Amino acid sequence: MADLQSRISALCEQAQIDNSGEFLLVTVDDAHWHEFARKLKEQLHFDYLTALVGVDWKDSLGVVYYLTNSDTHEIIHIKVATTNRDCPMLHSVSDIWAVANFQEREVFDFYGIIFINHPDMRRFFLRNDWVGHPLRKDYDDNPELNPVRLEDEVNEDDSCRWEEDPETGKVTKVDTKVFEDDEYVINVGPQHPSTHGVMRYRVSLDGEIVKKVDVVSGYIHRGIEKMCESLMYPQTLLYTERMDYMAAHINRHCLCMCIEKALGIEVPRRAELIRLMMDELMRISSHLLSYGCLTMDQGATTAFFYGFRERELIYDIFDRTCGARMSMSYATIGGVVADVHPDFIKDVRNACDVIEKNLKEYHQLFTGNVIARNRMIGVGLLSREQALDYAITGPSGRASGVNCDVRKTNPYSLYEEFDFEEVTRTEGDSMARYLVRMDEIVQSIKILRQACEKLEAIEGNEFCAKVPKMIKLPAGHWYQQVEASRGAFGVYLESDGDPKPFQKPYRMHFQSPCFNLIGIVDLTCRDNMIADLITITASIDFVIPDIDR
Amino acid sequence: MEVKAPKIKSMRHEDFKDNEYIDQLVAELNAGGVNVVVGKLDQLLNWSRSNSLWPFCFGTSCCAIEFMCLGAARYDMARFGAEVARNSPRQADYIMCQGTITYRMAPVLKRLYEQMAEPKYVIACGACTISGGPFKNSYCVVKGIDEIIPVDVYLPGCPPRPEAMFYALMQLQRKIKVTKFFGGANRKEKPMRYVPEEK
């Protein structure tokens, strides 16, 4: 860490470095930030922008960037802030890390921070006629300002860019167009069976060839991050399950770990093991759903039923232990809510056996099918460099050859004890993404079998640590990452150390994997047929509420 | 002729909750008197309608996954004649609105509802569609879809189990079975909780 610290200070003299936290914290002013960011990427190989979190510190508005070195998996974070609240401006880094493009638009939407030199400074989640920026601490939530508008939204083709003159430093607004007047634009969604939710694409076509995809998001933006700021810590847990509902246990596990880290609670081994098993079950369930949807989008309706048949086995396990099929609310701060069902281990073993046996059937049915092969092999290519640039994690990233499994790179929970492989492929096409998922099911089964043995070996039935009734965190901020079923899911938690009994988080940000995935839709669909848009997005496999939060 | 309370196979009248509503509809029909020919025609029509309810695929979040389970092999919605999930509102009989409706989605839902052909029905599926559910305090979530469109059946749960979805489906079938179409419909424009202001 000391070595890294000296190398960073050599890059930028003005940077203030603080190494007291879990990750190295660098504070720079906006004037030096862009140059510093470029050097960080080129010289220190911080090529992966893990998270970009906008924060309102009352006296200043700013952004916290979490950067990862994709070789050594070191993480640092950088704070950049501006004190101008009326017209806050920061320099964009979307030319350095492509993933910042949408993330900066999100910050603009939430905080009104304008990013200089960003190519497309539009709102991302909220309607264009929305008044105010909701995550600011001084946001006026008067319902009269923003009523339920029932008139249709006007398609905005106008965008803008704030350009800085390199010599004088003067910033001017330049109007740009999303689509030119002579382009043929068709609309897909928000109500479309194959967008897997309420996602909307505006697709510019040349004949049947896709020229550009403009992603219009926010149809299921529920303002979770703002609501978390008015709830106590245990109450915020429920929202994690409703973002990516196909990774409900995993997301909740992540937030629990983040709060436990801040509190310094040690979770009993048995509880951690149960959580881990639930995570893996959830992952299998998610990949099976992804299989079902991918096959159905290509017209193989029968295969959809196969995927759902096995998911019911997993749902039964959840149902018996947690009392619900979906949105289980099982993990809690310090452990799990209740002990597992007496038949839990037996059920898990049975499910593992059945799924393992039936996976062969899936491959027979679908993987070798000539239609599936023609529609997926070589379609929707994503190279390793692009995957890193767009911070693609999870099965989609691993299909492009990026070693991004958080369970291996930054092991959490008990994953270090387990023997499993990180599935990677190098093709980077739709087929590779699909096959990575299928192989990950096998690995999850392997983990579950080992976990069953470990759980049997543990004596006693301690499932939750002693946790104070009123949870109060010291002032500070924490970041926790886990491997959710679609990629690295991160929680940024900031506390102001409020001494009042009902402490609420100052800022809670969820860095969802699907948000990054949506960034590559344009990239992978370009110059493909319009019909392949559906296969490609199905193979990327995102959950829309996870994007919109 | 006398109109009787609607029958659902293998379920008794007392097994259902909120029977007052159905009983009232039956009483209204009987009070006006029902012509035998027209009444029989109505019964035939209602029988066929209630057993081929085509849902409109309208899933915005978690509930949609449970709806997919409903269509899959274990729960098998086809037993109710409701498995033909349509992707176009023009071909569907009812919307089962699954998931939160946000301010941005509200005009879309309203428009899709208006595009459906009469007779059309709405099931508000899940806590979010009934009142906003866990997202009630959000700055951009509609506090119940009955602010936008009229609702026939409210189905609580977060998300509701597939069995609960069947119950909602059966309640809708019962409602359809006591509807009069010939000789003056008793099915008036449904009241709305919220009327948007004219611009």
pLDDT at B183: 59
pLDDT-derived band of residue B181, with 50, 70 and 90 as boundaries? confident
- Residues of A whose CB is below 8 A from B132: none
Residue B194 scores a pLDDT above 80: no
CA A539/CA A433 separation, integer angstroms: 6
pTM as predicted? 0.88
User: A78-87, A433-442, B32-41, B113-122 — which is least confidently predicted?
Assistant: B32-41
Q: Count the Cβ atoms, other than its own, within 10 Å of residue A453.
A: 10
Q: Count the Cβ atoms, other than its own, within 10 Å of residue B150.
A: 15
CB of B119 within 8 Å of a chain A CB? The answer is no
Chain B: residue whose CA lies nearest to A193:
B87
Can you read off the two tokens belonging to residue A117?
A: 């030199």
Q: What is the dihedral of CA A474, A476, A482, A488, to 10 degrees?
A: 160
pLDDT-derived band of residue B184, with 50, 70 and 90 as boundaries? low
Residues comprising chain B, all counted? 199
Q: How far is B172 from chain A (nearest CA, A)?
A: 24
Residue of A414, A418, A434, A468 lying closest to A541 (CA atoms): A434
Q: How many CB pairs under 8 A join A and B?
A: 129
Residue B193 scores a pLDDT above 60: no
pLDDT at B11: 82
Nearest to A230 among B72, B137, B161 (CB): B137
Q: Can you say whether residue A12 is alpha, beta or left, with left for phi > 0 and alpha for psi between -120 and 50 degrees?
A: beta
CB of B73 within 8 Å of a chain A CB? The answer is yes
Which domains are assigned to chain B?
Answer: 18-177 (3.40.50.12280)
Pick among A130, A141, A196, A222 to test the B interface (most B CBs inside 10 A) = A222
ipTM for this model: 0.85
pLDDT at A190: 84
Can you read off the two tokens belonging to residue B155?
A: 């189905």
Tell if the CB–CB gap between A226 and B199 is shorter than 8 Å.
no
CB of B163 within 8 Å of a chain A CB? The answer is no
pLDDT in tens, chain A (549 residues): 667 777 777 777 777 888 777 788 888 888 888 888 888 888 888 888 888 898 888 888 889 999 888 888 888 888 888 888 888 888 888 888 888 889 899 999 888 888 888 888 888 888 888 888 888 888 887 878 888 888 777 777 788 888 888 787 788 888 888 888 888 888 887 888 777 778 888 899 988 899 889 888 888 888 888 888 888 888 888 888 888 888 888 999 999 988 888 888 888 888 889 989 999 999 999 999 888 888 888 888 888 888 888 889 999 999 988 888 888 888 888 888 888 888 888 999 999 999 999 898 888 888 888 888 888 888 888 888 888 889 888 898 899 888 888 888 888 888 888 888 888 888 888 899 999 999 999 999 999 999 999 888 888 788 787 888 888 888 888 888 898 888 889 999 888 887 777 888 888 899 888 888 888 888 888 888 888 888 888 888 888 888 888
CA A364/CA A362 separation, integer angstroms: 5
Q: How far is B56 from chain A (nearest CA, A)?
A: 10
Strand positions, DSSP E, A47-206: 48-56, 61-68, 75-82, 89-91, 114-116, 158-164, 171-177, 184-188, 200-206
Residue of A317, A293, A316 lying closest to A304 (CA atoms): A293
DSSP-based three-state secondary structure for A137:
coil
Q: How far is A505 from chain B (nearest CA, A)?
A: 16
Q: How far is A435 from chain B (nearest CA, A)?
A: 23
Tell if the CB–CB gap between B199 and A193 is shorter than 8 Å.
no
Contact A331, A256 (CB under 8 A): yes
CB of B149 within 8 Å of a chain A CB? The answer is no
Can you read off the two tokens belonging to residue A380?
A: 């929707």
Pick among A139, A319, A326, A358 to test the B interface (most B CBs inside 10 A) = A326
pLDDT at B185: 54
CA A42/CA A24 separation, integer angstroms: 19
DSSP-based three-state secondary structure for A346:
helix
- DSSP string of A226-293, one letter each residue: HHHTTS-HHHHHHHHHTTSGGGHHHHHHHHHHHHHHHHTPPPPHHHHHHHHHHHHHHHHHHHHHHHHH
Residues comprising chain A, all counted? 549
pLDDT at A172: 82
Chain B: residue whose CA lies nearest to A128:
B104
Can you read off the two tokens belonging to residue A373?
A: 């092969």
Sign of the dihedral defined by the CA atoms of residues A481, A483, A488, A493, in that order:
negative
Q: How far is A428 from chain B (nearest CA, A)?
A: 28
Instruction: Give residue B89's identity as a one-letter amino acid code.
Output: P
Q: How far is B17 from chain A (nearest CA, A)?
A: 23
Which domains are assigned to chain A?
Answer: 1-137 (3.30.460.80), 224-548 (1.10.645.10)
Nearest to A326 among B62, B142, B196 (CB): B62
3-state SS string for B107-124? HHHHHHHHHCCCCCEEEE
| Enclosing H/E stretch for A345 | helix A344-362
